Amino acid sequence: MISVQNHLQLLNGSKILLFCLFVFGIASCGGSKKAVSKKKDTRSTKVVKNKPKKKKSSTVIDTVQWTEVSKEEFPPISEKNVEAIDTKDSYKVSLLIPFDAAKANRLTSIENDRNIYRFVNYYGGVNLALQDLEQDGISLLVNVEDSKSTENVTSILKSSSNRDADVIVGPYTNDKLKEAIQYGKENEIPVVSPWRASSKLTKNNPYYVQLRPMLDEHYYKLAESVLSRFSADQVFLIGKEGSKDKARFKYFNKVLRERNGDRTASFPEYMVNSDSLKMGETAFDSIFHVDKASVFIIPNWKGADEDFIYSCLRKLRVEKGPNTVYVFGMPIMLESERVSYDYFRNLNLHVVRSKFVDQENSKVKSFRRRYYDQYGALPTKDAYDGYDMMYYIGNKLNTYGKNFQYHLNKSADQMLQTTYRIDQEVVKSSSELGMKGKVNYFANKHLDIIRFDGTKFVRVR
C-alpha cells in the first residue's frame, strides 16, 4: 500500500500525462492508492486532464420489484440509537474507482479510452473537494482503490487499510457494488453509490445510499412539470407500436390520478408505427391541437432507443406546421449528439435531469478556474460529479457522524452540478414479515427540468 501526498507541485507541459503516470504508476505498484486530507496536514491527490469531450450516458436504472423472503434469511435490522449524532475528530473513507491502471499503462493517452478518462476526471474533482474540506477544518483519511484491478471487492474492504472505514464509496459495476453493499450491511458501514440507481441491488438495508434518482422519479417529475402548466387533454404519451413502452405510462397516470383525485384518469396515448417514422409521409399528423398547445411526453431513455427518439423528434418538427408543440423527455435527449439546438427551439424541448451545471454561477466559475489552473484542462461532468460527491459526504460525516445517512433528509444541498435531496425508501409490502415501513435504503429524489432559452440551457423555475 502506498501513501500519496496531496500537495503535488504544479507541472509544466503536459500536466495530464504527468499526473496519469503518477496515478497509474502507484496503482501498478500497490494495487491501490491512498489520498489523505487532514485538518492541519492535508493530502489530496491531484488529477490532470485534457479537453473534455461530451459523452453519452447508458446507465441502466430499474424499477422496484419485491419478492417474499423468510425472516430467517433476512432478519430485521435493529435501528435503536442509529440516529444519534456521534461525531469524532477524523473519518476514514474507502473510495473504490475503476481506474483500470493495468490497461491505462498500455495506452499512449488516456483520452483514447472513454472509461479511464472519465474516472481520472472524477478523481480530479474528488481531490479539489478534499482541498476545500481541509480549508473547512474537516479531517478525512481517504483510501483510494482501483476496483477494476480485482474481482474480489470484499478482500479489498477487509484489508488493513479499509476494514475500519466509516463509509464506502462505490464501486462502479453492479456485481461489485452488490458485494460492497452486502459487506457494508453486515458490518454496519454506510455504502454510497454515486453511479448506480436500482431497487434490485439490496433490500431492508439502512446502510445503502444512492446518489442518483430512480427511473420512476424521472417519470414523476416529468408528469408533475407537465401538469403544472397544461391540462391532461393536451398531453400525449408516446410509445413504440409493438413494444413494451405502454408499461411506462402507468407512472404518469399515477401522478394524474393523485392530482385529480380520479382513479380512472389517464393521459391520451399514441403508439407510433416504426415504419411511418422511417418511410411514411406522416406519423403524427392527425393528433395536433389547433387551438392550444400539443404536449408530447417521450419516456424512452436507453441508448438503444436513441434512433426512435430522434426519429420522433424529426417527424414532430416537420409535421407540426404552425401548431405549438412542447416535448418532454429523458436525459438522453440532451446527451444525444443527434438532437441539435434547432429541435430544442422548434419543439420547446424540456428534459428531466439530475445533473446540470449553471455556467453563470459564481461557484461554478471559481471551480472551473481552479480546475484548469491545477490540471490544465476544463472540468468534465465527471469532475463536477466527483467534487459534489466528496464535498457532500465529507460534510455530512463531519456534521452527523458515522450514521449520517439517517440525517440526509434534513436538507436539500445544491452543489455545483447536483442537488442532493436524500430521503428514505421504505419497505412497502406487508409480505416482508414485519419490515413494512422500515428503511429499505436511502435515495436521492431531486431532479430538474432543463430547457434551452435561445442562448443557453437553463433550469425551469
Residues 6+ apart with CB under 8 A from 105: 24, 25, 28
Average pLDDT (47-73) is 41
**What's 446-458 look like in SS3?**
CCEEEEECCCCEE
**Global pTM value:** 0.83
Contact indicator for 172, 97 with CB cutoff of 8 Å:
yes
pLDDT band at residue 77 under the 50/70/90 scheme: very low
Give the span between the Cα atoms of 440 and 433, in whole angstroms.
13
Three-state DSSP class for residue 240: strand
Average pLDDT (417-431) is 85
Mean pLDDT of the chain: 84
Domains in the chain: ranges and CATH: 3-213+360-444 (3.40.50.2300), 215-353 (3.40.50.2300)
Higher pLDDT, 160 or 65: 160
pLDDT band at residue 427 under the 50/70/90 scheme: confident
Average pLDDT (49-72) is 41
Residue type, position 341, single letter: Y
The per-residue pLDDT for 379 is: 96
What's the grid cell of residue 60?
Answer: 441502466
Give the span between the Cα atoms of 330 and 300, in whole angstroms.
7
Q: To which residue does cell 439502512 refer? A: 206
Higher pLDDT, 303 or 63: 303
The per-residue pLDDT for 40 is: 34
Contact indicator for 51, 24 with CB cutoff of 8 Å:
no
Give the span between the Cα atoms of 364 and 392, in whole angstroms.
16
Higher pLDDT, 12 or 172: 172
> What stretches of 189-234 adopt beta strand conformation (E)?
191-193, 208-210
Dump pLDDT digits (tens) for 220-231: 999 999 999 999
Contact indicator for 157, 180 with CB cutoff of 8 Å:
yes
Average pLDDT (359-371) is 96
**Which of 310, 306, 313 has its CA nearest to residue 284?**
313
What's the grid cell of residue 307?
Answer: 434512433
Residues 6+ apart with CB under 8 A from 303: 56, 58, 332
Q: Report the range of poorest mean pLDDT among 10-14, 51-55, 139-143, 424-428.
A: 10-14
Three-state DSSP class for residue 79: coil
Q: Report the range of poorest mean pLDDT among 110-114, 131-135, 304-308.
A: 110-114
Dump pLDDT digits (tens) for 252-271: 999 999 999 999 999 999 99
Higher pLDDT, 39 or 22: 22
The per-residue pLDDT for 139 is: 95
Residues 6+ apart with CB under 8 A from 133: 37, 140, 390, 391, 394, 395, 398
pLDDT band at residue 438 under the 50/70/90 scheme: confident
Dump pLDDT digits (tens) for 338-360: 999 999 999 999 999 999 999 99
Dump pLDDT digits (tens) for 17-29: 555 555 555 444 4
% of residues, the chain, pLDDT over 70? 80
Phi then psi dihedrals of residue 442, to 5 deg: -115, 140
The per-residue pLDDT for 24 is: 56
Give the span between the Cα atoms of 184 and 182, in whole angstroms.
5
The per-residue pLDDT for 121 is: 94
Please say if the pLDDT value at position 63 is more than 90: no
